[in-house]
Structure 1
Amino acid sequence: MTLNTILWFIPACFALNMAFGPNNLLALTNAMRVGIGKALIASLGRIVAFAIMIVITALGLGALLIASEVAFSAIKWAGAAYLVWLGIKLLRSRAPTIGGIDEVLPVRSTQSLARQEFWVAIGNPKAILIFTAFFPQFLDRGDYATSFAVLGAIFLVLELAAIAVYTYIGSHLGRFAGRPSVFAWMNKASGGLMIAFGAMLALARRPA
Structure 2
Amino acid sequence: MSPDQILLFIGAALLLAVAPGPDNLGVLTLGVSRGRSEALGFALGCAVGCFNHTLLAVLGVSALIAASPLAFRALQLAGAAYLVWIGVQALRSRGAQLANLDTPSAAAGFLPYFRRGLIANAINPKVALFFLSFLPQFIRADGWPAPLQLAVLGALFAVVAAMVFGGIALAAAPLGGWLRRRERLTRWLDRATGGLFVGLGILTAVGIR
Does TM-score exceed 0.5, indicating one fold?
Answer: yes
Q: Report the Cα distance in structure 1 between the residues aligned to 2:181 and 2:4, rounded to whole angstroms.
A: 42
Deviations 1:129-164 (CA, angstroms, capped at 9, x unpaired): 232122223335652332122111111112123314
Residue 85 of structure 1 corresponds to 85
Q: Report the Cα distance in structure 2 between the residues aligned to 1:198 and 1:55, rounded to whole angstroms.
A: 23
Residue type at the aligned position of 1:96: A
Residue 190 of structure 1 corresponds to 193
Q: CA deviation at 1:69?
A: 1.4
| Alpha-carbon distance change, 183 to 190 in structure 1, aligned in 2, over 3 angstroms | same
Matches for 1:117-196 after TM superposition, within 5 Å:
117-140=117-140, 143-167=145-169, 170-172=172-174, 173-196=176-199
Deviations 1:11-48 (CA, angstroms, capped at 9, x unpaired): 23333333322112111111222334541233221122
Q: Which runs of 5+ in 2 are unaligned?
A: none
- Are the equivalent residues in 2 in contact too, given 1:62–1:144 (CA < 8 A)? yes
Residue type at the aligned position of 2:131: F
Residue type at the aligned position of 1:113: Y
- Are the equivalent residues in 2 in contact too, given 1:18–1:190 (CA < 8 A)? no
Q: Report the Cα distance in structure 2 between the residues aligned to 1:24 and 1:134, rounded to whole angstroms.
A: 19
3-state DSSP of counterpart to 1:161: helix
Residue type at the aligned position of 2:193: S
Residue 75 of structure 1 corresponds to 75
Question: What is the TM-score when the length of structure 1 is the normalising length?
Answer: 0.83
Q: Report the Cα distance in structure 2 between the residues aligned to 1:25 and 1:38, rounded to whole angstroms.
A: 14
- Are the equivalent residues in 2 in contact too, given 1:12–1:197 (CA < 8 A)? no
Q: Report the Cα distance in structure 1 between the residues aligned to 2:151 and 2:98, rounded to whole angstroms.
A: 36
Residue 104 of structure 2 corresponds to 106
Q: Report the Cα distance in structure 2 between the residues aligned to 1:201 and 1:15, rounded to whole angstroms.
A: 19
Q: Report the Cα distance in structure 2 between the residues aligned to 1:152 and 1:41, rounded to whole angstroms.
A: 20
Residue type at the aligned position of 2:162: L
Q: Does 1:202 align with 2:187?
A: no
Q: Report the Cα distance in structure 1 between the residues aligned to 2:65 and 2:77, rounded to whole angstroms.
A: 14
- Bigger mean CA deviation after superposition, 62-71 or 129-138: 129-138
- Are the equivalent residues in 2 in contact too, given 1:83–1:195 (CA < 8 A)? yes
